[in-house]
Amino acid sequence: MNLALFDLDNTLLSGDSDFEWSQFLIEQGVLDRELFEAKNLAFYEQYKAGTLDIHEFLDFQLKPLSRHARKVLDAWHEDFMRIKVRPMMGDKARALVNEHLAAGDVCVVITATNSFVTAPIVREFGIEHLIATDPEQKNGEFTGGVAGVPSFREGKVTRMEQWLGERGWRWDSFEQSCFYSDSLNDLPLLSRVKRPVAVDPDATLRAHAEQQGWPVISLR
């Protein structure tokens, strides 16, 4: 039995669903452009630089969810999938996922982006399992807070090991384990699998991958 882990944004997707969700809400007039666009861009640059304060960002990103009913958010998300997400789902990414699914591998998307944004995307890729940052909910509606450990940097390792433990598995339960990612932020989890793969990597991850002899591939 093999384990295949996938980052989502800028890995399976040729873009960032977290960033694009906020941009979508701005374009729809849900969020004020003047107040939110500059912050959204600043947080995205911090993420790429490896300096993001995840809790500060989640406060920015999850608060808007609490201001609208879940059925309204779900309707917006359907438009978001059509306008923003599906154009970022390339043939090479779909083929890679399908290759692992056809081999019978346990496939998991593990992402820092919240599960409201990512769950429909992951389902469209045909992947059953998702580990994401979970927005806190009360009576089916979002509170604007975060539930549990954010799935970010070292938190991805924590959440992954919790997920394995809940199923009675450990890292060595798998003959092979791989993780596909584009980001320096994923170095903690990339270092835990048997086969780390850098996908269209940022400069820091590319340099690290080349130094370590990790495969470097492109899904673009």
- What is the set of active-site residues? 7, 9
d(CA 164, CA 26): 38
> Rounded to 5 degrees, what are φ and ψ at 179?
-140, 125
Please report how many Cα atoms fall inside a 13 Å half-sphere around the Cα of residue 190, on the Cβ side. Answer: 24
How far, in Å, are 2, 128, 164, 198 from residue 167 at the CA level? Answer: 15, 14, 5, 27
Q: Which amino acid, residue 120?
A: P
| β-pair partners for 180 | 6, 197
Radius of gyration of the chain (CA): 17
Q: Which residues 6+ apart lie within 8 Å of 129 measured at CB?
A: 106, 107, 108, 109, 163
Q: Which residues 6+ apart lie within 8 Å of 72 measured at CB?
A: none
Number of C-beta neighbours around residue 103 at 10 A: 11
> Rounded to 5 degrees, what are φ and ψ at 32?
-75, 120
Paired tokens of 135: 């927005």
